[in-house]
Structure 1
Amino acid sequence: MGPVPRTLELFYDVLSPYSWLGFEILCRYQNIWNINLQLRPSFLGGIMKDSGNKAPALIPRKAQYMANDIKVLRQHVQVPIQFPKDFFSVILEKGSLSAMRFLTAVNLEHPEVLENVSRELWMRVWSRDEDITQPQSILAAAEKAGMSAEQAQGLLEKSSTSKVKNQLKETTEAACRYGAFGLPITVAHVDGQTHMVFGSDRMELLAYLLGEKWMGPVPPAVNARL
């Protein structure tokens, strides 16, 4: 019997492109490292407000850097990520609250499909420049991820309940207690200690904390399948 897997919590919001990159990297490593990856849908807007932080897009030089950064990371991480045409409308006006409530409902009722549904929502907003705020958009993502129309509709209805709203709030507050000032954050529980790692570009450090081997954002076992 081998060592007990270490728990990793990934707090993310599909509005965050860097959350997508971190998500894909950890999903690739979840069967390579000795870890138990727990996905934690959170609300980025609540974390930004709680921490007093500002979105990089609101600072011109950061926004320019981010646009170039995403282009390079698209190739480096091998994720089909690109900026929405009307970036400010998508990020600052429409937001992701409905989508994150839906993912919270998925996590409560059908956690086995949370990874796939999350990925489809990212694909919509950060690859195909499609909506993630309207009910039909969320249902389309869920069905493409493998859920039946009946299942998806049921979860959409549950996403407006107090139970789901409170769960999303609690998960977001948990991220804040860990010290989040943006997303993604990965929280590693190792040998009785808790380590919070911010962003998608600190995975080599995360590997060090876990005592695991870092083989780049696309490890050889995954690269062979792409």
Structure 2
Amino acid sequence: MSQVTRCDSNDSNLLNFGTFPRPHCILQVSCAILRKHQMSNSRKKIELFYDVVSPYTWLAFEVLCRYRKVWNVELKLRPAYLGGVMLGSGNSSPASVLNKRRYMTKDLNRLAAYMNVPLRHPSDVFEVMFKKGSLTAMHFITAVAEKEKDSDRLVENVSRELWKRIWSTDQDICEPVSLSEAGLNAGLSSIEVEELLSLAQSQPIKDKLMQTTQEALDYKAFGFPLIVCHGDGKPQVYFGSDRFELIAHCIGEKWLGPQPDKPTSHL
């Protein structure tokens, strides 16, 4: 006579030969499978189009990465080229207006303190943003993204290291040695870094960056950060690092402040 199995949450019991689960066990297992299926289907997706030359985007990047474990969302990091978006949309830098530039300096300092991001202005912002730019760095990040198809852990780490180099420690992000240091600090091996530096100069990677930049323009981007929420129905597009309450409302989640593990009392 066959042994009756005990009931647990592991539906593999249903496949054990020579066992006969009780009817209520079958019902419980079926419900568990159904709940798992419903959760995967209800999970929302958020795309972040970004360029490490943008300080406001660094703020949005850090906050969204923190919420990966808080919201039922899949965060998709989309490295793109801000210069291409500005050109393609006909936009110009707010830094070209003196009063805006003065305001942005104070605004970034306040936001960095509020969001707990170690942002500090480089000694020559104009040189960093407009003379050197970020094309080489974004090719490198795109190469990392293409190499790491099943996860974006290294993409997140490399992006953060490059942001820190510009907007925290006032270092270069254009020279290969600088990219190598960022890659090593992000957890890549020296062999991987060399492979990625070579890959970053290839035409497929350049085409991929252009493609992602065009996708941002297709969403009517005019700057970064560009955040696209995919929930029920049409994708919702948000610009800036101060739209998290609206994003939470869009995906049916709760906004707990920029540090969800340390909620503030003034929300």
TM range (shorter): over 0.9
SS of the residue 1:30 aligns to: helix
Query: How many percent of aligned residue pairs carry the same amino acid?
Result: 47
CA contact (8 A) 2:229 2:235 kept: yes
CA contact (8 A) 1:28 1:222 kept: no
SS of the residue 1:220 aligns to: coil
Partner of 1:81: 119
Q: Is 1:10 paired with 2:51? A: no
Partner of 1:51: 89
Partner of 1:142: 183
Instruction: Pick from 17, 26, 31 the counterpart of residue 69 of structure 2.
Output: 31
Whole-Å separation in 1 of the counterparts to 2:155 and 2:68: 15
Partner of 1:60: 98
CA contact (8 A) 1:83 1:127 kept: yes
Whole-Å separation in 1 of the counterparts to 2:111 and 2:135: 26
Whole-Å separation in 2 of the counterparts to 1:222 and 1:201: 16
Whole-Å separation in 2 of the counterparts to 1:85 and 1:31: 35
Q: Using structure 2 for the length normalisation, give the TM-score.
A: 0.82
CA contact (8 A) 2:256 2:263 kept: no
Q: Is 1:174 paired with 2:212? A: no
Partner of 1:160: 201
Report the count of equivalent residues. Answer: 223
Whole-Å separation in 1 of the counterparts to 2:261 and 2:140: 34
The CA deviation at 1:55 is: 1.0
CA contact (8 A) 1:117 1:142 kept: yes
Higher relative contact order (Cα pairs below 8 Å, separated by 6+ residues) = 1
Partner of 2:129: 91
The CA deviation at 1:221 is: 5.6
Bigger mean CA deviation after superposition, 214-223 or 107-116? 214-223
CA contact (8 A) 2:257 2:263 kept: no
Q: State which structure, 1 or 2, has the greater radius of gyration over its C-alpha atoms.
A: 2
Partner of 2:249: 208
Q: Name stretches of at least 5 consecutive residues in structure 1 with no aligned partner.
A: none
Partner of 2:170: 129
Whole-Å separation in 2 of the counterparts to 1:163 and 1:192: 33
Partner of 2:238: 197
Q: Name stretches of at least 5 consecutive residues in structure 2 with no aligned partner.
A: 1-35
Whole-Å separation in 2 of the counterparts to 1:141 and 1:78: 21
Whole-Å separation in 2 of the counterparts to 1:221 and 1:32: 12
Q: Using structure 1 for the length normalisation, give the TM-score.
A: 0.96
Bigger mean CA deviation after superposition, 184-193 or 1-10? 1-10
